[in-house]
Amino acid sequence: MQNLNEILSLIDGFIGGSDWFVFALLASGAFFTIYLGFPQIRYFGHAIKAVMGKFDKAGDSGDTSHFGALTTALSGTVGTGNIAGVALAIHLGGPAALFWMLVTAFLGMTTKFVEVTLSHKYREFDEKGNVAGGPMYYMKNANFIFFGKNVNLKWLAVIFAIATVLSSFGTGNLPQVNSISDSLFTTFRIDKMLTGAILAVLLGLVIIGGIKRIVKVTERLVPTMAFIYLIGALLVIGYNYENIIPSFLSIFTDVFTGTAAVGGFLGANFTYAFNRGVNRGLFSNEAGQGSAPIAHAAAKAHEPVSEGVVAILEPFIDTIIICTITGLVLLSSGAWNEKLNNRFELTDLKILDGTWSDKNTEDQQHLHDYLLHGTGNIENFTGDMEVANGLIVNEVTVFHARSVADNVVVYKNNELYNGNISVANGNINDQGGQIYLRGESLVHSAPLTTRAFTRSILGDYGKYIVSIGLLLFAFSTTISWSYYGDRAMTFLFGAKSVIYYRIVYVIGFFVASFADTTIIWTLSGITIALMTLPNLLGIFWLRSDMKRTVKDYWAQFNDEFPDHKKKK
């Protein structure tokens, strides 16, 4: 598993985790924001009226309402990214990572507007009469001009559709149930395999009914889960009121300097915070990824722009509101840089040669360099690690979750271990999963948010809010992503292929409930990039088409709704 994670991390480093990828994402959002005159600001009020159905017409074609499409798309984006993803971003990049998540969301509001409008404009209906839309259809059907000649981009559509199928597992399926089972195990000690089995059955019952049943579920789940989660979060923030202003300021003051070492956190520089913040921002709101346009294509609308403006609301709700509140919970509670007792994930674990302390200033700098650059005087340990009555005898340092672990105890089959453990380049031979370590270290993802929610008047009961919220958030995300995947399968192989996809989707959901967390998150980063890059290329190529479509919409709108007349 450790070797597999290292291979996946290497691949992710060249695409989703690379600097050029996050720059491409931000540059696309910035370009369209300027090119279209800041539509996320100018059309925001119009978007609220549109989602309320004020401009609907009888006979509009589609499978669902504006609100239904929005909640389905939101259920696909409001998931572990808002609970586990924010915690992971701050764990990796410090408070400044949240700033870059917000920047990504602001620019992403325009990106969503563009991709949803184009996808809705070029949607089709499959042989069963259901809407089939998404970026693969504008890539297939739009008139692309390259050096004065028509260019067919169906090959790009095929790449995107294949990536969507892969990403439905890497984004919407595997990490969602993994976070659910991890949270329920931490909170209620419910066996992960049992959690996966029960939810897999429920998932199958929902997705077999297609988009109409999915919309019925998400229209109820999204408002409920948002209300429960936000109430719990506000209780934590209010309980730690004295930390609200310092926490909020740290999001902005650390942007260009990076976050210094504090508590168990060993620090992060500007580049790392920027990269992780943008990357997690994309995972949270999926702007530019091309997923939400598939849900919005099903909306009843006579004009594609009328659905595009509705999509503006998604990154605002998902990231600017919910992720900011989660970030303030983590920062104001102080849990983000505290070492907490936990069972160590082997893929997050390294054994370092020699003894190093995060309390010593000189050691702290060496650890910082090792962590961010892989440089310095620190080397990974290789050899036999001797353990006596659960305690490590060798002069080594246990490094877990990007922090120096304290009070480490080694177990085998839930009993204190005696003997030697083979270690190669810092990686432990887990001997079939029988050996594990416990101790105090930083934690990340859902366990970190769970711990932060206990820092309120609710005490330990706060963790139940995270577990329930995560269950609802993540399960609804999985439901929505099954629809994205089956639309991609329809594009590639026809409507008859969907049933086979759904079977594999449910099986994968079950298996991921007890698989390794770190590997799943790494895989997720890769699949996100594989979807995003073709989509960004496609919408940039259709920039003139987009501008004409917007201009035509406002001209028609001003004629049809003179009481709501708006400047172009």
pTM above 0.85, yes or no: no
Phi, psi for 341 (deg, rounded to 5): -70, 130
Residue 164, amino acid: T
Q: Which of 67-81, 183-197, 259-273, 491-505 has the lowest mean pLDDT?
A: 67-81
d(CA 530, CA 78): 21
The pLDDT value recorded for residue 73 is 63
Q: Distance between CA 56 and CA 532 in Å, rounded?
A: 31
| The three-state (H, E, C) secondary structure of 356-415, written as one string | CCCCCHHHHHHHHHHHHHCCCCCCECCEEEEEECCEECCCEEEEECCEECEEEEEEECCE
pLDDT at residue 85 in the model: 81
For residue 30, give both structure tokens.
């910035």
Q: Is the pLDDT of residue 328 over 80?
A: yes
CA 432 to chain CA centroid, nearest Å: 31
Q: Is the Cβ–Cβ distance between 117 and 304 less than 8 Å? A: yes
- Residue 547, token pair as written in the block: 């501008």
Report how far apart, in Å, the C-alpha atoms of 432 and of each of 410, 413, 436, 437, 490 are: 15, 11, 10, 14, 41
Q: What distance, in Å, lies between the first and last C-alpha atoms of the chain? A: 55
Average the pLDDT over 521-539 and give the result.
84
Distances from the Cα of 178 to the Cα of 193, 209, 385, angstroms: 10, 24, 31
Q: What is the pLDDT of residue 347?
A: 81
Q: How far is CA 490 from CA 115, 338, 425, 456, 509, in A?
A: 20, 48, 46, 48, 21
| Span 272-295, average pLDDT | 82
Average pLDDT over residues 445-451: 86
Q: Which domains does the chain show, CATH number per domain?
A: 2-338+453-562 (1.20.1740), 340-441 (no CATH)
Q: What's the confidence (pLDDT) of residue 257?
A: 82
pLDDT digits (tens, 9 = 90+) for 360-414: 889 998 998 898 877 678 999 999 999 999 999 999 999 999 999 999 999 998 8
Residue with tokens 């005898």: 393
Tens of pLDDT, residue by residue over 158-173, are 999 999 998 899 888 8
Q: Is 143 exposed, middle or buried (0-12, 13-18, 19+ CB in 10 A)?
A: exposed
Q: Which of 45-54, 211-220, 349-358 has the highest mean pLDDT?
A: 349-358
Concatenate the DSSP letters of all residues of 235-269 into one string.
Answer: HHHHHTGGGHHHHHHHHHHTTTT-BPPBTTB--B-
Tokens 């992503």 sit on residue? 481
Q: How far apart are CA 296 and CA 66, in angstroms?
A: 8
Q: Which residues contact 90 (CB under 8 A, 6 or more apart)?
A: 97, 98, 327, 330, 331, 336
Side chain identity, residue 325: I
Q: Is 516 helix (H, G, I), strand (E, B) or coil?
A: coil
* Dist CA 119 CA 308 (whole Å): 9
